[in-house]
Chains A and B, each alone.
Chain A
């Protein structure tokens, strides 16, 4: 069974600073996807960034980037120039890339607060 661990239940950072959220996962599979989802106070779940395990290049989306270390099974999210709107719960998630499998496994989340 796959597991996803987010070891930082809460974090806070000053506006405009950079923050890194950590995520580790456990799997024996070689082909999979990793995701970061954001859940602001509105409770909407929003896909922030996606990484395919076979791609060595780290994914980036504007101020959001990941550090994907496949051998270490680590998938951290870096938020640059943090903004007040980044205040949210952030969930790391994992899915095996296999037809017929739709199991998306989430971590327990990191509550991020951006301080003005």
Chain B
């Protein structure tokens, strides 16, 4: 089944403890992206990647890192999480030529205490 897989689905952590949210897609998509969703703000883009080793900042990149060492994987790294990073996170991917129609993962609910 074609899909974007995020793990974990739920995560509670403490301030300052490094964490990684994994994202993997099995559709050979070139483009991948991370978003965070907060009430009243919609979804905001954190980082995106156009292919292996090609990444760029979105609208809210502060406090996050990404890497794209393999085409299928695009992990989101929080080096020192803070409570304002408590949010619902989505990974998404699309194929080149699909005109921006992204396939989304199921989301990761992160709580930083």
Contacts and interface: CB of A to CB of B under 8 A. Distances in A.
Given A103-B45, A103-B59, A108-B40, A44 B102 contact: no
Interface residues of A, number: 24
Interface stretch (A13-21, A80-88, A94-102): A94-102
Interface in B21-38: 31, 33, 35
Interface string A29-44: 0000101000000111
Q: What is the interface of chain B mostly: helix, strand, loop, or mixed?
A: strand
B102 A47 contact: yes
B42 A103 contact: no
Given A33-B99, A97-B99, A100-B50, A106 B44 contact: yes
B68 to A, nearest CB: 12
Interface in A74-116: 91, 93, 95, 97, 100, 102-109
Contact of B99 (A44, A52, A107): A52
> A42, A45, A52, A91 — which one has the most chain B CB atoms within 10 A of its CB?
A45
Contacts of B58: 103
Interface residues of B, number: 25
A108 B42 contact: yes
Contacts of A102: 31, 33, 45, 48, 50, 56
Nearest to B41: A108
Given A33-B100, A35-B100, A43-B107, 14 more contacts: A35-B101, A43-B106, A50-B101, A97-B100, A102-B31, A102-B33, A102-B48, A104-B33, A104-B35, A104-B100, A104-B102, A106-B35, A108-B41, A108-B42
Interface of B: 31, 33, 35, 40-45, 48, 50, 56, 58-59, 88, 90, 92, 99-104, 106-107
Interface of A: 4, 33, 35, 42-47, 50, 52, 91, 93, 95, 97, 100, 102-109
